[in-house]
Structure 1
């Protein structure tokens, strides 16, 4: 039975092309990026504010500003946690690489973000 499943999986991968899927030692399929395609290590978010967005030291509007992001800028999100409420939203994202936080009210996560 496992050989039949593996043969079907390999056959499907050949028909679909590179970057489709591969079967591991357990016979379960896992995604494989196409040759040369970078693999995202952190979820991507996009600033949805019409004005510049402040990146804060802590997840609250009362914390100091460490950086400013442009409208529609794409950023990498490290994790999320509850913080100070902003327009009815208590979720804040920790930004990858800047050691700061942005309110989820003004950032649309394009992929799921793990909790901190």
Structure 2
């Protein structure tokens, strides 16, 4: 097998495997040793990021389904489908309901 074919296979494997591995996450500008917990948006439609931890607060932006986000901390806020927990996003003044974000690591209280 030629060098060009090997390179093509290696690149294809990297494209398929990279985003699913921790190396793919680190390659997107996030250090592997980042202490902030990661969350994944678990909704079918865009998720509203709110100014305060309540559904009555202004929407500051939206997140896409299955998007990964860094979480700063958690606190109780307005209830959303039986869940009163809200996560503050890292690097943003916004809050998202824990009902629609699955935390992949424990999240400290605010």
What TM-score, normalized to structure 1? 0.67
Structure that is richer in helix per residue = 2
Provide the rounded CA distance (Å) in 2 between the counterparts of 1:110 and 1:57.
23
Structure that is richer in strand per residue = 1
Question: Which structure is larger by alpha-carbon Rg, 1 or 2?
Answer: 1
- Partner residue of 2:62? 68
**3-state SS of 1:83 partner:** strand
Instruction: Show structure 1 runs of 5+ residues with no match.
Output: 1-36
The count of residues paired between Structure 1 and Structure 2 equals 80
- Partner residue of 1:107? 101
Taking only aligned residues, the RMSD between alpha carbons, in angstroms, comes to 0.9
- Partner residue of 2:36? 42
- Partner residue of 1:3? none
Q: Give the deviation of 1:91 after TM superposition.
A: 0.1
Instruction: Show structure 2 runs of 5+ residues with no match.
Output: 1-30
The structure, 1 or 2, with the larger RCO (C-alpha pairs under 8 Å, 6+ apart) is 2
Q: Where in structure 1 do 4 or more consecutive aligned residues deviate above 3 Å?
A: none
What TM-score, normalized to structure 2? 0.71
